[in-house]
Structures are given as structure tokens and as C-alpha cells.
Amino acid sequence: MTTALHDDNSFSTWIGRDTPKTRKRASRRASEELRFAFYGRASTVEHQDPATSEGWQREATEHLIAGHSRIVASYFDVGSSRRLPWRHRPQAAELLSALADPDRGFDAIVVGEYERAFAADQFQRMAPLFRRHGIQIWLPEANGPVDPGSLMHQALVTVLGAQSHREVLRARHRALAAMRIQVADQGRYLGGRPPYGYQLVDAGPHPNQADAKWGRRLRRLAEDPDTARHVRWMFAERRSGRSVAGIARALNEKNVPCPSTVDPTRNAHRSGVLWTVRSVATILENPRYTGWQVWNRHSADHDASTDRRRVVHQRTIRQDWVVSKQRTHTALVSEQDFVAVQGMRSARPTGDGSIRTYQLSGLLRCGVCDRRMDSHWVHGHAGYRCRHGHSSSRTRTPDTPLPLYLREELLITRIGVHLAQEDHEDRPTPAEIATFLHVNALTVTCYTDRIAIGNQS
């Protein structure tokens, strides 16, 4: 049996007669008066004028839709990153809620620039939602409505998304590179809260001529006469073996104002009026008290595991810190004392009230089991031991290694000999040895008859 090529009942004719409903709706509305909802966004409040930003975006959309109708609703987010999904931007979320309302009052959404509304592949992921509610998206880059069925428009949106993501990465790289140079070469103060014990003072005209013409000036850290002495006292007390908790308690007993009390505006995130262990520890860990400008101690990145892309703060290793080539402000603690304080354990008073100190606390590892060795007072002398995980509450088994006990004096001698063999200064003092190990992030692995010195892992 032969089928006619032009038979109205043929399969090919039946396929050719089908037209996507969304395209019919789009074509019909393109020739009608459309009601538009405007959406725009400004990234920050501090560095952008929201009114100006909204103005130029609105102007771009009005030029785009000229002759098609007017804007009947406006949604504009201020301080929302393009990385945030629409449902996590206040105004965009309100716009999404309006889509489900049959009486929403608008037929299409228009934006002044792709990057103001979308980032990366956000548009592609939201396209089914817009299509389901019969909403067109008008973009200046498309010179009108985006047609999801057009291969050209699909390619355009893909390119725009890639460009948007690339610009985010480029801007981040340029900003971080510039900040690195400004700190390392110029020792510049980059902003933020001045550390407790310092205040901001004028540092001359801004090096950027355009900024200088506007009257902007540089700032730098200077000693705060009201609080600097408390910082010096904290380091001195910690160096003598006092615990961080004990320092915080003493500060509160003496009614010393804490950071949030001294500068409540810059410390709005802190609501307390008393010193805490964390606030004291933060001061003792801050290398800027040595007089050097230090940047990149912490990194902030976005957690891609959640759709909110929350910011995750992490500490960076010391090798990645950016330190100024010259001192930029008054030091409140010497480098030697600062290094000695890092990683110190508290010196606890004995029954007779005396203080036992351990120069190598936290720097020793057992060569048998690789555990950290404990400080241990042995026959009136500082020493260190490792029981290889054994506890007095358990019966020792025959295969349990014997505990390792080493006097601090013996270890100091062995470390001194080891350093002398590597052309370090002769006969360093115990304090100098401890400082050297801390500064160079070294660990001493201990055996019964020898030691090995290596980098901390």
C-alpha cells in the first residue's frame, strides 16, 4: 500500500501542525501591549549609590521595551550578591511569589542587564519556572524577549552566564592581587576594625589622584593611649605562664573596658560588656601587635554545598600570610615574646604555690607512637613523658611499650647540639631554643637515646 506524500492524515503532516504553546503565547503577546515587572540589583550599599544604579538599569529597560507598553511593577534588591539564588534575595523572592498569582498584573519581566539579575547558569535553571507561569524575560543583550526554543538564544544565555561567572573571578583576582601588593610593598592599612590597643590616624593623601581630589586620605594604626597598656599587660602575663582564662578574669575584676565597650560602633557584632576567653585569645594570636602589617590570616569562601552559598571563614597557614616589608606602626609586644606566647600551655601553681614552667611544651612528639609528649615534673625537674596511650585505669599488657621519660635539661642539651651542628649559634639558652622551634614551626621527635627535628605536620 502506498501513502500519498501530501496526505493530510500522514504522520509527517501531523508533526508539522504542532506548535509549542509557549511560542503561541509569546507570539501573541509580542503583538499586544505587555505589562512589565522591572527587576534590578545593586551589589553593595557602601560602594554604590542604589538610586543611581536603579536609575540607569531602569533607563535601559525603558529603552528596550519602548513601544511595547510600560512598567507596572518594580523590584530592586540592594546588597544582594548575584551568586544568591532569587529566593534568597528579598525583592527577587517577592517577585517569584507574585508569579503564582493569577492577578499579578504583569505579563513579562525586564532587566537592565543580564548580570544584574542572573549569574552563571541561573537563567537556565529558572527558565522552566518562567515558562510554567507564561512569563517572558526581556534582556537588552537579546534585544527583546528570550526565546527558550531558539538555539541562538540558548547559546547567548550560555555565553552571558559564562561571562558573568568569569567577571566575578576576574574581579576577585584583581582585588586580592592589589591588596597583596598594597600590604607587602606599601604596608597599607586596608580597612576593618583596628585591633584593640590601636587607633586610626591620618596617613596622608590617597595615592590615587582621583581619590585624592575627592579628599580621601589614607589611614594607619597608631598606639591608643587608653588601651595599649592593657595589651602589653596581657602578653606579659601570658608569657609568665598565666592562663588565658585567668587573664580574662583579671581584666574583668579590674573593670578594664573590653573591645565592644571601647568601640561599640565597630564591634556591633559583639554584645557583651565583659572580657571573654575568646576575645583575649584573639588579641594574643594577632601578629599585628608586633608592628608589622599582616594580611590574609583568614580566607573567606562560599560553601557550594548549600544553595545559600554561605560564607565560610578558614585560617590560612602562616606561609600564605602577607607581611609588610617594613614595620608600619608601633609594636606593643616584641617579636620574641609574641612567638613565645603562641601555643603556650598554662603554667599551673603547685600545692606550695610555686609555678612549674616547661620550655618545650607542645613541641615534642614520641618517636615510638607519634603521640604528643606530656609535660611531667620528674624528681623536682621539668620533664616530658609518653605512656603510648596507656592509662592508669587499665592493666598494662605485656606488649605495651615502656613509658618514655626525658628530662628537659637532657632535651635542651640534645637540641642545642643538633642546632650547633647545623651552624646555628653556639649554646643557645632554653628560651632561645623554644623560640627558634616556634618561629620555624619545628617539632622535636624524641627517642630514648636521640632526637630528630622536623617540620610540624
Residue 357 maps to a domain? no
Mean pLDDT, to the nearest integer, of 390-401? Answer: 66
210 shares its domain with 321: yes
pLDDT above 90 for 375: no
Domain boundary among 140, 165, 190: 165
pLDDT above 60 for 347: no
112 shares its domain with 238: no
Residue 324 maps to a domain? yes
Domain boundary among 165, 180, 206: 165
SS3 content of the chain, % helix, strand, coil (to 5): 40, 20, 45
Task: Give the domain range for residue 49.
Answer: 20-165
274 shares its domain with 390: no
pLDDT score recorded for residue 300: 67
Percentage of residues of the chain with pLDDT beyond 70: 81
pLDDT score recorded for residue 322: 93
Q: Is 58 helix (H, G, I), strand (E, B) or coil?
A: helix
Residue 6 maps to a domain? no
pLDDT in tens, 190-204: 888 899 999 999 988
Question: What is the number of domains present in the chain?
Answer: 3
Percentage of residues of the chain with pLDDT beyond 90: 42
271 shares its domain with 307: yes
127 shares its domain with 36: yes
- The residues that bridge with 110 in the sheet, in sequence order, are 38, 138
pLDDT score recorded for residue 191: 86
Mean pLDDT, to the nearest integer, of 447-452? Answer: 90
Residue 287 maps to a domain? yes
User: Do 240 and 340 touch, CB atoms closer than 8 A?
Assistant: no
327 shares its domain with 387: no
105 shares its domain with 228: no
Residue 353 maps to a domain? no
Residue 183 maps to a domain? no
- Residue 123 belongs to a domain with what CATH number? 3.40.50.1390
Residue 238: in which H helix or E strand, if any?
helix 228-239
312 shares its domain with 435: no
Residue 192 maps to a domain? no
Residue 259: in which H helix or E strand, if any?
helix 259-262
pLDDT in tens, 253-269: 999 999 988 888 766 65
152 shares its domain with 34: yes
What DSSP line would sit under 330-361, residue for residue? Answer: --SS-HHHHHHHTTPPPPPB-TTS-B---TTT
pLDDT above 60 for 106: yes
Q: Which residue has the higher pLDDT, 448 or 355?
A: 448
Q: CA–CA distance from 27 to each of 39, 142, 147 (Å)?
A: 23, 16, 10
Distance CA 382, CA 131 (A): 76
pLDDT score recorded for residue 20: 55
- The residues that bridge with 199 in the sheet, in sequence order, are 222
Mean pLDDT, to the nearest integer, of 321-326? Answer: 93
> Residue 272's pLDDT band (boundaries 50, 70, 90)?
low
72 shares its domain with 133: yes
- Residue 216 belongs to a domain with what CATH number? 3.90.1750
329 shares its domain with 383: no
pLDDT above 90 for 75: yes
pLDDT above 60 for 311: no
Mean pLDDT, to the nearest integer, of 230-245? Answer: 90
Q: Which residue has the higher pLDDT, 271 or 233?
A: 233
Question: In the numeric block, which cell numbers belong to residue 278?
Answer: 575568646
Q: Which residue has the higher pLDDT, 378 or 354?
A: 378
pLDDT above 90 for 156: yes
278 shares its domain with 386: no
Q: What are phi and psi of 152, to 5 degrees?
A: -65, -40
Q: Which of 30-44, 136-150, 373-387 has the highest mean pLDDT?
A: 136-150
Residue 95 maps to a domain? yes
